[in-house]
Structure 1
Amino acid sequence: MSWLDDITPPGIKKMFRQQDDKSDALWTKCPSCEQMTYGKDLEAEEMVCPSCGFHHPLPAGARLNSLLGEKWERIELPHTADDPLKFRDTKPYVARLKDYRKRTGERDALLVGRGRIGERAAVVAVQNFRFMGGSMGTAIGEGLLAAADAAVEARAALIVVTASGGARMQEGILSLMQMPRSTIAVQKLREAGLPYIVVLTNPTTGGVTASYAMLGDIHLAEPGALIGFAGPRVIEQTIREKLPEDFQKSEYLREKGMVDRVTDRRQMTAELGAILSVLMAPEAVIEAANDDEGEASVEDEAVAELPEAAE
């Protein structure tokens, strides 16, 4: 807190918010370029700073609106036991759940909806980082299985938007068990011949990175997103070496081949629509195109129309 904070009237402070503030302040300060942006203007840009392109956190519901439009249908997820291990740290786990449910209006850290992206049916599962850091517990494991079942039933693609600090410590081994369970959800899609696409957002770490976040047919990432298992500070302390400045950022992982494309949030829907038009092209049309000797296939033409990656 600076000396200016001491003399600023409370009414003026409420007009502004920092990047991690969830209030209804009128203005938001960008942590990257420190420019102030009017709240409505920032929302119109899908929470991307118009000055420098910094990607602010986007609420899970807004993410679904962005990808599926306003007419998406919510998929109700199975309820799981609230506190299977009777865990307590500074306060009981059930008390923490109650607090976050009140703050977010959601039962847990996963929101799933179905609709269309372009001309293709899609089921989209979004991790809500505002709910206990998007941590992976039994509710997320059950939610991913339900999302996969819904996608298979509707013959739709499954798109998972990750944002998580990793496994939920309050659920111990039960949380870690969701890593192989999420793999089962992905396998259901593979057996049905349906696309599984992962959109990596800031941050995606821990057991989420070690499981379903890296099992996609295609991996897209938002600019500047932190993606990894252990954090860079832990790695530096372990190997006693200085890491590159952009280590574990989406652009760095794109260069190393762990991410297929880095895409601005404002172009993400168009990018996904183009990809799905390739991966879900009608089988009859593909066969007919492949039968025509000397002519490009539907897949080749669609790939040529994909938007260029945002570097």
Structure 2
Amino acid sequence: MNWISNYVRPKINSLFSRREVPENLWAKCDECGTMLFHRELSDNLNVCTSCGHHMPISPRERFDALFDGGIFTEVKVPQPIADPLHFKDQKKYPDRMKAAQKGTGEAEAMLVAEGKIGETPIVAAAQDFRFMGGSMGMYVGNAIIAAAERAVKLGRPLVLFSAAGGARMQEGILSLMQMPRTTVAVEMLKEAGLPYIVVLTHPTTGGVTASYAMLGDVQISEPNALICFAGPRVIEQTIREKLPEGFQRAEYLLDHGMLDRVTPRGELRDELITILRMMMGLPPAIKGSLPAPEDAKLADKPAGK
């Protein structure tokens, strides 16, 4: 046995070798600058544990936390015509789509799913701001219509999480046509007597705010979310006046009657369960209740076993 080769050299190499640390282990809070361990941040639903700042969260992560046991089924959305205007700016529209799909792992800017929340069956839709700013194009219009039709067919309420920079310019007037289309979809729910709850997240702006995002029976927002049609900078430059502190933020809109609630993300699920069961005429949810199938199995067993 060579003591130098087998023990001394590996020991020296371990002291001087550079250990590679994955870059995604830590995230920096945009608000307070605190470095947050990725697992701790994920467990807290992407909310800063230091200052409470709500960071972006993907639709799948949101649904994992929203639905009972993280179990949900995706609702199929009809695919629209790809690149109907053959739009090109610095990049071709199909190239931008491919980059967004690669970066998010999603096909488009909205995910529609069905499942149970607090043993209450619902249909839910959520926008992904990482996908081209969550912009509203033909697919998003199709997604909301598909969600509304599914909710009406099953007799379930619809919960929508908005996060968008407005209409998608690469689809021109076709994207603006989604405003009346989605308004009609919301009207379908109202005619069926089904609740439509909107949770506005940061940011919700432009044509999305001017259509389905502000038509809910109940309007809830996450803290400090920017909610507007035209942004504060545009308004300030137009009227040439200084805007009030916190203008167009969730708390400002709550004080001026535009919202019903401002609820932190960690408390949102319980609040939605309470509101949904109340609006559907169901008894309050019982926390920790056992599922019925297990009780049925126990009842089938002979006594003493």
TM-score normalised to structure 1 length: 0.83
1:9-48: CA deviation from partner (whole Å, max 9, x where unpaired)? 9967x64xxxxxxxxx111111211111111000000011
Q: Which residue of 1 aligns with 2:124?
A: 124
Provide the C-alpha distance between the structure 2 equivalents of 1:236 and 1:171, rounded to a whole number of angstroms.
28
1:46-125 alignment runs, 5 A limit = 46-69=45-68, 70-125=70-125
Give 1 or 2 for the bigger CA radius of gyration. 2
Give, as a single letter, the amino acid of the residue that structure 2 aligns with 1:65: D
Q: CA contact under 8 A between 1:145 and 1:185: conserved in structure 2?
A: yes
Give, as a single letter, the amino acid of the residue that structure 2 aligns with 1:207: G
Q: CA deviation at 1:126?
A: 0.3
Give, as a single letter, the amino acid of the residue that structure 2 aligns with 1:276: L
Q: CA deviation at 1:105?
A: 2.0
Provide the C-alpha distance between the structure 2 equivalents of 1:252 and 1:183, rounded to a whole number of angstroms.
25
SS at match of 2:163: strand
Q: CA deviation at 1:147?
A: 0.3
**RMSD between superposed Cα atoms in Å:** 1.6
1:127-166 alignment runs, 5 A limit = 127-166=127-166
Q: CA contact under 8 A between 1:144 and 1:185: conserved in structure 2?
A: yes
1:151-199: CA deviation from partner (whole Å, max 9, x where unpaired)? 1111111011000000000000000000000001101100110000000
Q: CA contact under 8 A between 1:124 and 1:159: conserved in structure 2?
A: yes
Shift in CA distance, 234/11, structure 1 to aligned 2, threshold 3 Å: farther
Provide the C-alpha distance between the structure 2 equivalents of 1:79 and 1:149, rounded to a whole number of angstroms.
16
How many residue pairs were aligned? 266
Provide the C-alpha distance between the structure 1 equivalents of 2:262 and 2:100, rounded to a whole number of angstroms.
31
Q: CA deviation at 1:77?
A: 0.8
2:268 is equivalent to residue 268 of structure 1:
yes
Provide the C-alpha distance between the structure 1 equivalents of 2:249 and 2:126, rounded to a whole number of angstroms.
20
2:153 is equivalent to residue 169 of structure 1:
no
Provide the C-alpha distance between the structure 1 equivalents of 2:65 and 2:192, rounded to a whole number of angstroms.
27
Provide the C-alpha distance between the structure 2 equivalents of 1:156 and 1:66, rounded to a whole number of angstroms.
20
Give, as a single letter, the amino acid of the residue that structure 1 aligns with 2:64: N
SS at match of 1:258: coil
* Structure 1: 5+ residue stretches without partners: 1-8, 16-24, 283-297, 303-311
SS at match of 1:173: helix
Provide the C-alpha distance between the structure 1 equivalents of 2:217 and 2:187, rounded to a whole number of angstroms.
11
> Could you tell which deviates more after superposition, 173-182 or 63-72?
63-72
1:59-100: CA deviation from partner (whole Å, max 9, x where unpaired)? 110011121131111111111111111111111111111221
> Could you tell which deviates more after superposition, 104-113 or 269-278?
104-113
TM-score normalised to structure 2 length: 0.85
Q: CA deviation at 1:276?
A: 0.6
Provide the C-alpha distance between the structure 2 equivalents of 1:192 and 1:65, rounded to a whole number of angstroms.
28
SS at match of 1:225: coil
Provide the C-alpha distance between the structure 2 equivalents of 1:77 and 1:11, rounded to a whole number of angstroms.
42
Q: CA deviation at 1:245?
A: 2.0
Q: Which residue of 1 aligns with 2:292?
A: none
Give, as a single letter, the amino acid of the residue that structure 1 aligns with 2:84: P
Q: Which runs of 4+ in 1 moved over 4 A?
A: 9-12
Q: Which residue of 2 aligns with 1:295?
A: none
* Structure 2: 5+ residue stretches without partners: 1-17, 285-305
Q: CA deviation at 1:277?
A: 1.2
SS at match of 1:241: coil
Provide the C-alpha distance between the structure 1 equivalents of 2:86 and 2:33, rounded to a whole number of angstroms.
43
1:214-293 alignment runs, 5 A limit = 214-282=214-282
Give, as a single letter, the amino acid of the residue that structure 2 aligns with 1:150: R
Q: Which residue of 2 aligns with 1:309?
A: none
1:298-309 alignment runs, 5 A limit = none
Q: CA contact under 8 A between 1:120 and 1:280: conserved in structure 2?
A: no
